[in-house]
Structure 1
């Protein structure tokens, strides 16, 4: 039986990468050690880090105006690092509430003593649309504006063409659609992304930081591990790095380049998501509630309208080899994550299954 993993994270990885990891996991002939044994100070690992940074710069067109670092702690640690490093003037952050992870970022910043102003929220309509930037928004009042480009739980996305327009500083949590669609890096002052969706396994987080903005900050009183500049100065090796996760990320970046880069990933993701949305939109049994212009390419949410029925169907899907289709526990329903490594055959198998359930209903 062919099986498919629709998990929102850790998500599906390219089969070619998994095969390569298997082959290289045992002791290397030159180092006499496995990749999980090599020192983070070794020349071999330093080469991996440099290669990974260069490939990410190539894929995302990241200029030398930005630093790229590989960190630990996931996006949740970035919820604290960003305000510690950048909410240093007004100690006030503007935020567009587009879902659960925007709220978590706000909570973390408030715990650190910052004022967080929610400029707009679509919580009252279950985050089925993007919150828009108010016409009277004054960016000079805030240290920065925080957004989530893709909301993994709710399935709503700020694509490049519907990003908020601001003359102020813009920070983006890009955890679940980095490399899945193109963004103009110069529109942002800081970007971060957990690795466990489109970049590789859990354990590594990418941060892309505008150097000139960082140079303006006074981080007196911020612990050394929470200062971006320390990690930048040590080329992501300020402390013991997540060696295996960065090694695997480097292989995933190789795979993306070999496939044709972000342009090709975007083409495939559009095709996969359009096929699934087209079926859901014509169905009288399922509903995909997110407004069309803001629909995610990577996390497609839908429901029958009966959450208990959804649970039964998700269980049946698991039995047929379609794993991790249940929506997040906070919302229920279904969520099909179509990350870069998810093949079109997974979408076709899912649609065939959903059609069968609908016909039997």
Structure 2
């Protein structure tokens, strides 16, 4: 069986070794004569799996006991509401907009402002410039008493990434759906991190929440029980039946990452992949990337061809070459290569070789 290079933004490529192990364990997990997706999440075998998965994530990200780690459902989009209901506490929340996903989080949060649960403050937006840059710090309008500051370090659609944690006084909440585990971060600089699984963690259906325990007493009375972080912590992320198979696969990915040498080792590969692709784009008059080089994502690389009329040809021929899902988001157009952890350097090199040959034929 041939595995192609899948550059999809999400659900994204997963490590082949993880998929092969899941295949081998599909019908008979740990000698139980049943699949892991068929056993009770309350049983000792699954409880041990859940505990080991959390322990491995804590090791990978150096997460201290000051933080709760939750394995939830609903995707990162549900957290757009959950963050407000758990942390706003009738105060003010600061939102920095650097792309489509931080904008969606802001728009969702504003709904709760109309219900009188607090104020949502727009710090700054890069939307007027097409989200190809991060607004200069001099433009930021911060609230001195904000309950939290929300931002998205990596924007998958526009390919903008903030590599430095913003220096603000408010507790920082970060949507790391598309950059978690891609390079080392200092978790202690954040009040909360949340991430949908379908980029660097595993399949869609699971959402990670890493939150400081001292923030768990702020939930609004309107917060649904299953969205209340304290309730989920008290119930081991199992107030209702969790996404057991996605949780299991996330555990396999964490084990795979540890075998690769951890986040530090995978970061070196990720930066090499990004450099290879950006060098190919910058070294050509046929391809272009509009993002300020200081904020170019190492996970999601949008690029345009010199002639839009060639887009369909590029996509058709790249697919024939085993290079899948390179179509850019409809908001941006052009192409986009998402090069998450499971994408290898060799696959990126295959893409740049194809790009060079395509330019030779049509440039």
Question: CA deviation digits over 1:71-120, x for unaligned, max 9?
Answer: 00000001010000001131x32111111101110111112235322211
Corresponding residue number in structure 1 for 2:183:
181
Corresponding residue number in structure 2 for 1:323:
324
Corresponding residue number in structure 2 for 1:243:
244
Tell which deviates more after alignment, 81-90 or 120-129.
Answer: 120-129
Structure 1 residue matching 2:89: 3-state secondary structure:
coil
Whole-Å separation in 1 of the counterparts to 2:140 and 2:290: 29
Whole-Å separation in 2 of the counterparts to 1:60 and 1:139: 30
Q: CA deviation at 1:12?
A: 0.8
Corresponding residue number in structure 2 for 1:83:
84
Q: Is the 8 A contact 1:265 1:340 kept in 2?
A: yes
Scaled by the length of structure 1, the TM-score of the pair is: 0.95
The equivalent position to 1:194 in structure 2, one of 189, 193, 196, is 196
Q: Is the 8 A contact 2:300 2:337 kept in 1?
A: yes
Q: Is the 8 A contact 2:7 2:323 kept in 1?
A: yes
Q: Is the 8 A contact 2:176 2:195 kept in 1?
A: yes
Please give the root-mean-square deviation of Cα atoms over the aligned residues, in Å. 1.5
Structure 2 residue matching 1:206: 3-state secondary structure:
strand
Pair 1:7 & 2:8 matched: yes
Q: CA deviation at 1:28?
A: 3.5
Closer/same/farther in 2, CA of residues 133 and 171 from structure 1, 3 Å limit: farther
Question: CA deviation digits over 1:267-299, x for unaligned, max 9?
Answer: 000001001111110101000111111111111
Pairs aligned (count): 357
Q: Is the 8 A contact 2:160 2:295 kept in 1?
A: yes
Closer/same/farther in 2, CA of residues 355 and 82 from structure 1, 3 Å limit: same
Structure 2 residue matching 1:340: 3-state secondary structure:
coil
Corresponding residue number in structure 2 for 1:94:
94
Q: CA deviation at 1:135?
A: 6.8
Gaps of 5+ in 2: none
Pair 1:142 & 2:142 matched: no
Tell which deviates more after alignment, 77-86 or 120-129.
Answer: 120-129
Corresponding residue number in structure 2 for 1:106:
106
Whole-Å separation in 2 of the counterparts to 1:132 and 1:233: 41
Q: How does 1:122-137 map to 2 (within 5 A)?
A: 122-134=126-138, 137=141
Corresponding residue number in structure 1 for 2:205:
203
Q: Is the 8 A contact 1:96 1:132 kept in 2?
A: no
Gaps of 5+ in 1: none
Scaled by the length of structure 2, the TM-score of the pair is: 0.95
